[in-house]
């Protein structure tokens, strides 16, 4: 079991209110990702759930029991830190065994669980090494191993992959997703990497300045962002925002057009513009275009279009994919 | 190309390191060489080849027993260091793991006492020792040496404790460790290398301390530093004997330092974080 319910959770460090009040429900078995810009309070929220930080007011329930004042070790949660936080003076085996030893588990049971975790994480050959003798990816696996042997109610990850290089990050991302499918345990995962958020999550929580902007599945957030912030944050490259008379044509204060929802042609309908920058990625070409009518736009073009700097082109947004927002930045239905 | 350059640089560094090491070690080496000369050779002038006579050592031993000041040195240096650790470990621990706004100020204040020349407090301390009957006692000197080195001990321990990453302690808390388990299983083992190097360094410092030991002892509590000094005074200077006494005095600590090199170089926390 691993249901976590936050009610009016507030956190202030002295005078500074970092989280003004969050209500959030995380269901058993869900993979929930917290995303948001740097400093928005993702780590703080995770640490409040973990119990490493005391909440200023509000309530945290885990599996229906009030855990607001429970110490971290008594919440049944396991955490994987960005820095791995392995115990440097212990072998990999002892590192993984530590939470079991603290729980007073028998030696035989400990060993069975360690062997099992080592097999799942490909660590069997490294059990007698010290953390200092492992690569970054291996250390990350040990940290995950230390978390899974406890069979916790939920896993908490704070940017666990940000110290790894790009290639390894992709591998580990998939391993964590597979682990989730295998264990079916609740996971809360903090990242500011969009790709991680979109690919791994069942549910994304978008945070901004300590507030929840929107909660939903990756596709819900992509297809129906609740406001300008979410619209601009989810999706890469960023959505284009247009205000003024062009937006008024759609009865909106602002309209949003994603780069992938624009038809690019040399001489067709739409806004005329001049290419400022063309990035050829092979499959796609991203174009930065200066349009006199709507301002600067980023659009995705076909990979083989052969467009270059200073070419004049026309941009036509797909009518069914135009997002509309009112003057407060909220989405219009 | 790149390899050739880095190989040259390596040779350069090696030569430089050896040169520096030799320059630093030379006075000690020359003391040892001089101690193996006859008194005649010793005053003749610069000469690196002695006649390998142990004459001076015999005279030194017969003139003034070596064993007693040696034992005094051991008691004073080890005793004062252990006392200092007993006081400093909790102090540094508190400052490193639950600092307050004033922690930095306290640390600076403690260090500032080391900036004052020792002579400045010679008279008051001399008088205190005289009045309380601590003059020329091991206990008096042990406590004094402990107090003198305490700021350094606290500082060293503080910096070592501070290096223990907070996330490791948080991980232990998540893993269900209470305060006691956290200290026994995580903090203490990680702090041991730091404590060991602090201990060694302070034994060496206390061993070599000579200002106070010479001022406040005569025979009873006199350690090896005072033992050396006793050869430099009455009947003029005898270089070979003085060197022999010095060699006997620094020998034990040199050997200790040599064998504990590994302890002095800590590498245990490396690899825990990142
Ligand atoms: N112990 C603390 N004392 C005071 N302020 C803090 C403390 N910890 C965090 N903050 C503040 O709380 C805010 C949120 O911090 P937090 O670490 O949760 O951000 P984050 O979303 O995890 O950012 P990042 O993506 O950079 O990790 C920041 O403005 C930070 O300065
Ligand atoms: Mg963070």
Q: How far apart are CA A233 and CA A194, in angstroms?
A: 8
A235: contact with B, CB 8 A cutoff: no
Nearest residue, CB atoms, A52 vs list B173, B177, B186: B173
Tokens found for residue B59: 């005279």
Contact B268 A78 (CB under 8 A): no
How far the first Cα of chain B sits from its last, in Å, is: 32
Q: How many Å apart are CA A161 and CA A165, to the nearest integer?
A: 8
**Whole-complex ipTM:** 0.85
> Shortest CA distance to B50 belongs to which of B64, B73, B32, B67?
B32
Query: What is the structure's pLDDT at B201?
Result: 84
Distances in Å between the Cα of A332 and the Cα atoms of A261, A310, A322 are 19, 36, 11
Q: Which residues contact A298 (CB under 8 A, 6 or more apart)?
A: A237, A238, A240, A259, A286, A287, A288, A289
Tell me if A50 sits within 8 A of A75, measured CB to CB: yes
CATH number at residue B184: 1.10.3720.10
pLDDT at B87: 94
The verdict on residue B186 lying in a domain is yes
Cβ-count burial B66-91 (b if 16+ within 10 Å, e if not): bebbbebbebbbbbbbebbbeebbeb
Q: For helices B188-208 and B67-97, what crossing angle results, to 10°?
A: 140
Count of positions (residues) in chain B = 274
Separation of CA A44 and ligand 2 centre (Å): 7
Express each pLDDT in B139-197 by its tens digit.
999 999 999 999 999 998 998 888 888 899 999 999 999 989 998 999 889 888 888 88
Strand runs labelled E in A124-175: 154-158
Among B216, B32, B206, CA closest to B122: B216
Q: Are A237 and A226 in contact (CB under 8 A)?
A: no
Closest ligand to residue A18's CA: 1
Residue A229 neighbours by CB under 8 Å, 6+ apart: A206, A208, A213, A329
Average pLDDT over residues A55-84: 94
- Residue B265's alpha-carbon distances to B20, B153, B198, in angstroms, are 19, 17, 11
Tokens for A118? 């080592």
> Taking the mean position of all CA atoms in its chain, how far away is CA A69?
27
User: How large is the C-alpha radius of gyration of chain B?
Assistant: 23
Contact A61, A4 (CB under 8 A): yes
Residue B247 lies inside a defined structural domain of this protein: no
- Four-residue CA torsion sign, B53, B55, B60, B66: positive
| Distance (Å) from CA A13 to ligand 1 centroid | 10
Average pLDDT, chain B: 85
pLDDT at B271: 35
Partner-chain contact B165 A130, CB within 8 Å: no
What does the alpha-carbon distance between residue B259 and residue A286 come to, in Å, rounded to a whole number? Answer: 65
A96 lines ligand 1 (CB under 6 A): no
Give the nearest chain B residue to A91 (CA atoms).
B272
Q: Is residue A233 predicted with pLDDT exceeding 60?
A: yes
Per-residue model confidence (pLDDT) at position B265: 60
Measured CA to CA, the distance from residue A170 to residue A174 in angstroms comes to: 6
Residue A19 beta carbon below 6 angstroms from any ligand 1 atom:
no
B158-163, Cβ contacts within 8 angstroms, sequence gap of 24 or more: B158/B92, B158/B95, B158/B96, B158/B107, B160/B92, B160/B191, B160/B193, B160/B194, B160/B195, B160/B197, B160/B198, B160/B266, B161/B92, B161/B93, B161/B96, B161/B97, B161/B191, B161/B194, B162/B96, B163/B194, B163/B269
Look at domain A4-231 and name its CATH class. Answer: alpha beta
pLDDT at position B274: 33
Q: What is the DSSP string of A79-98?
A: EE-TT----TTS-HHHHHHH
Residues of chain B in contact with residue A162, where contact means CB-CB under 8 angstroms, are: none
Q: Looking at residues A145-171, what average pLDDT do you find?
A: 92
Answer yes or no: do B190 and A79 touch at CB < 8 A.
no
Residue B126's domain comprises 67-230
| Overall residue count recorded for chain A in this entry | 333
Q: Distance between the two ends of chain A, CA-based, in angstroms?
A: 37
Every domain of chain A with CATH number 3.40.50.300 lies at 4-231
pTM, entire model: 0.78
What pLDDT is stored for residue A25 in this prediction?
Answer: 96
Ligand nearest to the CA of A38: 1
The pLDDT value given to residue B235? 60
Residues 6+ apart with CB under 8 A from B32: B243, B247
Integer Cα distance of A186 and A180 in angstroms: 8
Question: In degrees to the nearest 10, what's the CA dihedral of B211, B212, B215, B221?
Answer: -120
Cβ–Cβ gap A85/B176 under 8 Å: no
Asked whether residue B159 is domain-assigned, the answer is: yes
Q: Which two tokens stand for residue A11?
A: 């956190």
Distance from CA of A226 to the nearest CA of B (A): 36
Across the interface, do A88 and B268 touch by the CB < 8 Å criterion? yes
Q: Where in chain A is the domain with CATH 2.40.50.140?
A: 240-325
Contact B172 A98 (CB under 8 A): yes
- Parallel, antiparallel or unpaired: strands A31-35 and A203-208: parallel
**DSSP conformation class of A227:** B
Distance, CA of B212 to CA of B201 (rounded, Å): 18
pLDDT value for B233: 61
Q: Distances from the Cα of B120 to the Cαs of B127, B140, B207, B217, in angstroms?
A: 13, 19, 22, 19
Q: What is the largest CA-CA distance in chain B?
A: 73
| Phi (first) and psi of residue A25, to 5 degrees | -120, 130
Q: Which atom of ligand 1 is nearest to the CA of A14?
A: 4
Question: Residue whose CA is closest, atom 31 of ligand 1?
Answer: A39
Ranges of chain B whose pLDDT falls below 50: 1, 267-274
CATH architecture of A240-325: Beta Barrel (2.40)
Taking the CA of A208 as reference, the closest ligand is: 1
DSSP symbol at B13: H
- Which of A18, A53, A212 should be mutated for ligand 1, with most atoms under 8 A from CB? A18
Q: What's the A48 CA to ligand 2 centre distance in angstroms?
A: 13
**What tokens were used for B53?**
């006579």
Nearest to A73 among B175, B185, B186 (CB): B175
Domain count, chain B: 1
Identify whether A244 is preceded by a cis peptide bond (ω within 30 of 0).
no
Contact by Cβ (8 Å): A202, A26: no
Average pLDDT of chain A, as a whole number:
93
Q: In this predicted structure, what is the pLDDT of residue A152?
A: 95
State pLDDT tens for residues B234-247: 566 778 888 888 89
Strand order in the sheet with A4-13: A16-26, A4-13, A57-62, A65-66
Residue A40 Cβ inside 6 Å of ligand 1? The answer reads yes
Cβ(A39) to ligand 1 under 6 A? yes
Q: Kindly report the protein residue whose alpha carbon is nearest to atom 5 of ligand 1.
A: A13
Residue B110 within any structural domain of the chain: yes
């Amino acid at each position: 079991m691993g249901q976590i319910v936050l009610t009016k959770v507030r956190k202030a460090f002295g005078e500074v209110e970092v989280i003004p009040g969050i209500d959030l429900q995380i269901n058993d078995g869900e993979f929930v990702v917290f995303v948001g810009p740097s400093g928005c309070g993702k780590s703080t929220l995770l640490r409040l759930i973990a119990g490493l930080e005391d909440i200023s007011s509000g309530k945290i329930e885990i599996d229906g029991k009030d855990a607001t004042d429970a110490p971290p070790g008594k919440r049944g949660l396991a955490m994987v830190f960005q820095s791995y936080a392995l115990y440097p003076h212990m072998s990999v085996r002892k590192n993984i065994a530590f939470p079991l030893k603290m729980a007073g588990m028998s030696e035989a049971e400990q060993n069975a669980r360690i062997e099992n975790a080592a097999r799942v994480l490909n660590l069997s050959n490294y059990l007698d090494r010290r953390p200092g003798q492992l690569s970054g990816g291996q250390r990350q696996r040990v940290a995950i191993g230390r978390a899974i042997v406890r069979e916790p109610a939920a896993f908490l990850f704070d940017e666990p992959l940000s110290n790894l290089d790009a290639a390894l990050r992709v591998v580990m991302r998939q391993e964590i997703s597979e682990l989730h499918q295998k264990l079916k345990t609740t996971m809360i995962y903090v990242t500011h990497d969009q790709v991680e958020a979109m690919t791994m999550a069942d549910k994304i929580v978008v945070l901004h300045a300590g507030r929840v902007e929107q909660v939903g599945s990756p596709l819900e957030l992509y297809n129906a962002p609740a406001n300008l912030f979410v619209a601009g944050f989810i999706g890469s490259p960023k959505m284009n925002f247009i205000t003024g008379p062009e937006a008024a044509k759609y009865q909106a204060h602002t309209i949003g057009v994603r780069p992938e929802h624009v038809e690019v042609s040399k001489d067709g309908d739409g806004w005329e513009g001049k290419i400022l920058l063309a990035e050829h990625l092979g499959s796609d070409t991203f174009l930065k275009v200066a349009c006199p009518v709507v301002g600067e736009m980023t659009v995705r073009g076909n990979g083989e279009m052969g467009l270059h700097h200073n070419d004049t082109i026309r941009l036509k947004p797909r009518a069914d994919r135009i997002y509309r927002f009112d003057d407060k930045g909220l989405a219009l239905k | 190309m790149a390899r050739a350059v880095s190989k040259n640089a390596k040779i350069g560094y090696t030569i430089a390191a050896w040169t520096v090491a030799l320059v630093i070690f030379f006075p000690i080496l020359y003391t040892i060489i001089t101690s193996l000369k006859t008194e005649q050779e010793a005053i003749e002038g610069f000469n690196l080849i002695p006649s390998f006579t142990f004459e001076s050592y015999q005279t030194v031993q017969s003139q003034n027993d070596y064993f007693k000041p040696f034992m005094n040195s051991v008691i004073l240096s080890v005793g004062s260091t252990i006392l200092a650790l007993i006081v400093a470990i909790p102090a540094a621990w508190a400052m490193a793991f639950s600092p307050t706004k004033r922690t930095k100020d306290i640390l600076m204040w403690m260090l500032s006492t080391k900036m004052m020349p020792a002579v400045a407090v010679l008279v008051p301390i001399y008088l205190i020792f005289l009045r309380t009957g601590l003059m020329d006692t091991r206990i008096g000197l042990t406590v004094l040496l402990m107090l003198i080195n305490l700021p350094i001990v606290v500082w060293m321990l503080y910096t070592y404790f501070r290096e223990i990453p907070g996330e490791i302690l948080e991980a232990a808390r998540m893993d269900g460790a209470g305060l006691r388990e956290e200290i026994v299983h995580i903090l203490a083992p990680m702090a041991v290398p730091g404590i060991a190097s602090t201990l060694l360094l302070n034994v060496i410092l206390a061993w070599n301390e000579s200002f106070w030991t010479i001022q406040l002892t005569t025979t009873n509590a006199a350690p090896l530093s005072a033992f050396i000094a006793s050869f430099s005074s009455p009947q003029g200077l005898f270089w070979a004997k003085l060197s022999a006494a010095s060699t006997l005095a620094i020998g034990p600590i040199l050997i200790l330092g040599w064998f504990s090199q590994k302890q002095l170089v800590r590498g245990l926390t490396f690899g825990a974080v990142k």
